[in-house]
A and B are shown apart, each in its own frame.
Chain A
Amino acid sequence: MFSEDTILLFYEITDVIIAGLSTGSVYALMAVGMTLVYGVTKAFNFAYGDFFNMGGYFAWILIVGLGLEFGGYPVVLLIVMPLLFAVGYGLEKLLVAPLRKRKDWENKVMMMTLGLALFLTSLYMVVFGVRMKSLPPILEGTWEVGQLVFSYQDIMIFVMSISGILIFAWVLNNTRIGMAVRAVAQNPVGATIVGIPKERIFATTFAISTVMVGFGGILLSQKWFINPNSGGIIMVKAWVVTALGGMGSIRGGLYAAFIIGMLEAFVGWMFGMSYGIIALFVLLLATLVLRPQGLRGKGE
């Protein structure tokens, strides 16, 4: 019925879609973390992408560096996630919080996080060298349906990042701390009035976003390698997703992440990987010109 070529094309396209879905899901996770920090603290975090690498490196230290043979990724996550939280919390308290008391603090925070990004990139190069590191797949093997082949790794990446987002959304909507975070985002003065310790919420939010992007780093580094210089481009990608989705909208971020994941995968498949990035910027420019508020700006 179909020619061999058509069937082959069908398989290839399926592969591309799966790749797009798995990277897209991690982009979604990263965008949610970014929109969270921006929504709550109203300051842009330029070091965001370097926390992605931090997650990757922490996992690499445990798995490859120390060569620990234990329960694998579940144990790694159990150790790395609290560590990322602590790093995020500490950095916010140490570097960002003191600036917030000053005049024109938004710009100062931007400069500070930009400095932090450069510092972390250099730190990674000194400690881990410029050569890229790789992480073993979270789950090896494939799942075959007829002639279609799905790698367990892609499936796991998708499942884990979507679970991460769902857990985050649940916490945000159903717990006291989640309510406090939303309260600060919606009205910082109102939050102060009801007795929410705003400073602590800022630090907690920063820490949660560090965990989210670092978790994304652990997931994607299995496919992409860990590169000390990649923080900038990761941050830009998270930002493109956030801008397309609409600043402050979690649902918009989800849509945007999958659109971008797919776009990147298809352009990469058709023209080569480096064109994927170009496509991303074209999309960003088009968004800013045609629909600056994003898919779903404002709210939530």
Chain B
Amino acid sequence: MLNVNNLNAYYGEAQVLHNVSVSVGRGQVVVMLGPNGHGKSTLLKAICGLAESVAGEISYQGQPIDHLSTDKLVNMGVAYIAENRELFPYMTVQENLKLGAYVKAARPHEKKNMAKVFSLFPRLKERRTQLASTMSGGEAKMLAVARGLMSNADFLCIDEPSLGLQPSLRLELFSTIKEINKQGKTIFLVEQNIPHIAELADKIYVMEEGCISFEGNSKEALGDKHLKEIFLGM
């Protein structure tokens, strides 16, 4: 569904990604792991048209998308869910969700998706008239994921959903992501750490210093000596 081929990305003078190639199949959950600051987020941003300077090929459903702006990508069904949420602080939960359905492709499905999102995240339904800025970290995270779903996208790029969440909420969010995947969405997810993620993933990549250092399924990942060292300190 998504193919990234020999992608290089730069941040000012510094090269952040080196010849990165990744592929995500329809209906999969693919997870990109790696230490902080090694380029995982940049890759997601590059896919979603949010990175500054990028060279290489990115294609979605066979079409090249590397020069498209974010609004066109969202309209095509590629949505980005940011690590730091990027909500609209002085708007209510409901308004934030409504804006999630801003692009043309999402508008006809707004009602249906709103109901879906509220059944996935009942807490958001309870708080729908509350301002986004008054929500707790966990709730804000849920709202960010929910807003991404409102775009009716088939392909979700989720940047570190578990960051800053307590373990119980983390598990809850992962199981919701699994549920979203079961409902037919393809998911490309970035995480720092391996626990809980392995059972979710159909495929795991590891990125170190801007290069892909591992590719395989979760079983292989859990058995890999080097990965154990960097993630579990064993």
Contacts and interface: CB of A to CB of B under 8 A. Distances in A.
A131 interface: no
Nearest to B80: A193
B74 A300 contact: no
A216 B102 CA distance: 32
Contacts, number: 65
A72 interface: no
Contacts of A299: 90
Contacts of A194: 74, 99-100, 102-103, 147, 151
B71 interface: yes
A64 interface: no
B147 A186 contact: no
Interface string B36-77: 000000000000101000000000000000000111011100
A197 B86 contact: no
Contacts of B73: 195
A180 B88 contact: no
A186 B86 contact: no
A193 B70 contact: yes
B98 interface: yes
Interface in B180-203: none
B174 to A, nearest CB: 22
**A contact face: mostly helix, strand, loop, or mixed:** helix
B175 to A, nearest CB: 24
Contacts of B80: 193
Interface residues of B, number: 28
Given A179-B95, A183-B99, A189-B82, A196 B71 contact: yes
A194 to B, nearest CB: 5
A192 interface: yes
B88 A190 contact: yes
Contact of A186 (B50, B89, B98, B151): B89
Interface string B96-110: 001110110010000
A182 interface: yes
Contact of B86 (A176, A180, A190, A195): A190
Contacts of B50: 192-193
A197 B88 contact: no
Contact of B88 (A176, A186, A195): A186
Nearest to B100: A194
A187 interface: yes
Given A190-B86, A300-B90, 16 more contacts: A176-B102, A179-B95, A182-B90, A182-B91, A183-B102, A186-B91, A189-B82, A190-B82, A191-B88, A191-B99, A193-B81, A193-B86, A194-B99, A195-B73, A195-B102, A196-B71
Interface of B: 48, 50, 69-71, 73-75, 79-82, 85-91, 95, 98-100, 102-103, 106, 147, 151
Interface of A: 176, 179-180, 182-183, 186-187, 189-197, 299-300
13 contacts: A180-B99, A182-B88, A182-B91, A183-B91, A187-B86, A189-B82, A193-B70, A193-B86, A195-B102, A195-B106, A196-B71, A196-B99, A196-B102
